[in-house]
Structure 1
Amino acid sequence: MESVRDVRKLPKAHLHLHFTGSMRPSTLLELADRYGVHLPDALSGGTPPKLRATDERGWFRFQRLYDIARSCLRTPDDIRRLVREAAEEDVRDGSRWLEIQVDPTSYAPRLGGLIPALEIILDAVEEASRETGLGMRVLVAANRVKHPLDARTLARLAVRYADRGVVGFGLSNDERRGLARDFDRAFAIARRGGLLSAPHGGELSGPGSVADCLDDLRAGRVGHGVRAAEDPRLLARLAEQGVTCEVCPASNVALGVYDKHDDVPVRTLFEAGVPMALGADDPLLFGSRLAAQYEIVRRHHGFTDAELAELARQSVRGSRAPADVRAAILADIDAWLAEPPGASEEPAA
């Protein structure tokens, strides 16, 4: 086998990681036992569950598993543990900057309310960043299946905590439900407060949902965005505007958006000049973390080390890291590429 550089040592930024979905499977098992939560076999079997969310029933099953896992996060200590472990996993995979996405309303009932929940999360992020050396920030995300007024409340809250580590505002859950324009006022609040607009689009729905993110929510990044590959004019627009797509190859296949890794249009986006940031999405459910996404692109799309380095640069440029942090990571990416490849290593898991 051709000798290649270790992608776990490639400095990179991680811009698409959901809060509960970042949990280690072993941590979920321990917390479920502590709180007496019955886990279905799909979460307790030791292997990633079989998922296919391209129909309503499949998405409901995915969301149900996610909700069960989230119910095991009940105390500030649980939150601190999850964030610290997520940071440790990212550092192990070569991440130098992480923007973790969370809807604090999901944790508010057990943590004393919406504001205390976000403050606990931000304190945990600050602590984990200090302990691990990983740059970390938070992207607050509204839920597409809830009322747009809820999103406005979250946007105001996110802006209020912009000086505590909130850098962006997102929109998650099933993009086939609700219109992007229903949330335009929430995103306007966030943008006026200096936050990045980073809604999901172009995964379960087609390229039109990506265009809606651009037109209605003025997205600076798009969560997933891979379905833009079906519209050459949209690809050109993303490239021209420099909108980064947070591409998550493993989850695209796990959710049935594409049948196999070879079908994910990573090469199409790359050659069209669309900036990308590879992300792990929900490792708890999809079974692979950040470095594994780079291995997938290498193995299934023929990306060279030079091209992988460019993907890492694009992730850094698409981040909200301070200019000096970006410059340092970019320099280290160049250093990774400048070193001759050593003997092949075991692939990232």
Structure 2
Amino acid sequence: MERARDVRQLPKAHLHLHFTGSMRPATLLELADKYGIHLPEALRGGQPPKLRATDERGWFRFQRLYDAARSCLRAPEDIQRLVRETAEEDVRDGSRWLEIQVDPTSYAPRLGGLIPALEVILDAVDRASRDTGLPIRVLVAANRMKHPLDARTLARLAVRYRDRGVVGFGLSNDERRGFARDFDRAFAIAREGGLLAAPHGGELAGPASVRDCLDDLRAVRVGHGVRAAEDPRLLARLAASGVTCEVCPASNVALGVYDKPGDVPVRRLWEAGVPVALGADDPLLFGSRLAAQYELVREHHGFTDPELAELARQSLRASLAPEPVRTELLREVDAWLVPSRAEGGRDGRQEAEREHGATR
């Protein structure tokens, strides 16, 4: 029986990763000590905190922990460290293209204002990309918990910095709060400025929140989107339109959306023809990074190596990587499927090519 390939060697794009949530736990502790910040015990224990955000109290606790971690990012050098270490972790996991999501208003009070905060973040992204060789782009995300006028300000800012690496516009936080249509003008500003629409939906709220992302915000990608699996007609619509769901299996379980990894409907989305891009969401709080998501669907959903390769292809196709970059990375995914001489030589290579052809 052929040995399973190392998913860390599988070239892939990482399309769902939040800024503060990408931090290494050890870095959080060091920054907290540096600034004399008392962290909640759940962030100091060395293990991912126990979370269940399916009710308002649980989501508040999750948000409180996230805010506590964010409060430790106080200077440009902290931002630079976070982005560099995040890129290093992604490179180890086989990420060849990273799109990281950030709400710069959260960092503005400590970094001199909204525009300086975004410039600090983009400078850190440029430096980390040069240092690690990992291409990194930014999605600016508005917050559902804030006024829609704030989202419009962010959309205009995001468009202004399109030439500095901002490629998309998102909408994060609890999708059970407010209506997607309240943010339609912000997304229109972003879309008219050439940015991709990638709002969150279908995680804490049901299929209707995914439909709202499509109808009101004209989403090209949906952050999470897993609850679409509850509506066959919506699945068919996503498949027909080619809208990618950024699925974060470990996050879904950690937040209590599903009880166990096998319950996350990755296979249902896959079989319906919905493009899927696996993401880590907030590794700081959920305890696992990108490669672990591929391992999870392998272990709990029976994804074969050719199917994992196709998931990687779907992440690359949904990315904003330039076409020549995407084409080369897709070739490298094909190469990952080809066994070494010791694993089967020419016959094994032909078999891998047949398997690959069956997944297209």
The aligned counterpart of 2:119 is 119
Q: Give the C-alpha shift of residue 132 in structure 1.
A: 0.4
Greater relative CO, 1 or 2 (CA 8 Å, sep 6+): 1
Residue correspondence of structure 1 range 26-65 to structure 2 within 5 A: 26-65=26-65
The aligned counterpart of 1:287 is 287
User: Residues 244-271 of structure 1: CA distance to partner in whole angstroms, max 9, x if unpaired?
Assistant: 0000000000000000000000000001
Task: Give structure 1 stretches of 5+ with no counterpart.
Answer: 344-349
Check the 8 A contact 1:169/1:196 in 2, yes or no. Answer: yes
For residue 82 of structure 1, give the secondary structure of its aligned residue in structure 2: helix
Give runs of ≥4 in structure 1 deviating > 6 Å. Answer: none
Residue correspondence of structure 1 range 85-234 to structure 2 within 5 A: 85-234=85-234
User: Residues 207-250 of structure 1: CA distance to partner in whole angstroms, max 9, x if unpaired?
Assistant: 00000000000000000000000001100100111000000000
CA distance in structure 2 between the aligned counterparts of 1:166 and 1:146, rounded to whole angstroms: 21
CA distance in structure 1 between the aligned counterparts of 2:227 and 2:36, rounded to whole angstroms: 41
Check the 8 A contact 1:5/1:341 in 2, yes or no. Answer: no
**TM-score normalized with structure 2 length:** 0.94
Task: Give structure 2 stretches of 5+ with no counterpart.
Answer: 344-360
The aligned counterpart of 2:21 is 21
Cα gap change, 1:183 to 1:85, in 2 (>3 Å): same
Aligned length, in residue pairs: 343
Q: Give the C-alpha shift of residue 328 in structure 1.
A: 1.0
The aligned counterpart of 2:346 is none
User: Residues 30-56 of structure 1: CA distance to partner in whole angstroms, max 9, x if unpaired?
Assistant: 000000111111100000000000000
CA distance in structure 2 between the aligned counterparts of 1:290 and 1:29, rounded to whole angstroms: 22
For residue 219 of structure 1, give the secondary structure of its aligned residue in structure 2: coil
Q: Give the C-alpha shift of residue 341 in structure 1.
A: 9.8
**TM-score normalized with structure 1 length:** 0.97
CA distance in structure 2 between the aligned counterparts of 1:341 and 1:192, rounded to whole angstroms: 51
CA distance in structure 1 between the aligned counterparts of 2:191 and 2:341, rounded to whole angstroms: 43
CA distance in structure 2 between the aligned counterparts of 1:115 and 1:304, rounded to whole angstroms: 46
CA distance in structure 1 between the aligned counterparts of 2:178 and 2:169, rounded to whole angstroms: 17
CA distance in structure 2 between the aligned counterparts of 1:184 and 1:341, rounded to whole angstroms: 54
User: Residues 190-214 of structure 1: CA distance to partner in whole angstroms, max 9, x if unpaired?
Assistant: 0000000000000000000000000
The aligned counterpart of 1:298 is 298
The aligned counterpart of 2:317 is 317
Check the 8 A contact 1:139/1:169 in 2, yes or no. Answer: yes
CA distance in structure 2 between the aligned counterparts of 1:265 and 1:20, rounded to whole angstroms: 27
The aligned counterpart of 2:253 is 253
The structure having more radius of gyration, on CA atoms, is 2
The aligned counterpart of 1:326 is 326
For residue 292 of structure 1, give the secondary structure of its aligned residue in structure 2: helix
Q: Give the C-alpha shift of residue 339 in structure 1.
A: 2.4
User: Residues 155-213 of structure 1: CA distance to partner in whole angstroms, max 9, x if unpaired?
Assistant: 00000000100000000000000100000000000000000000000000000000000
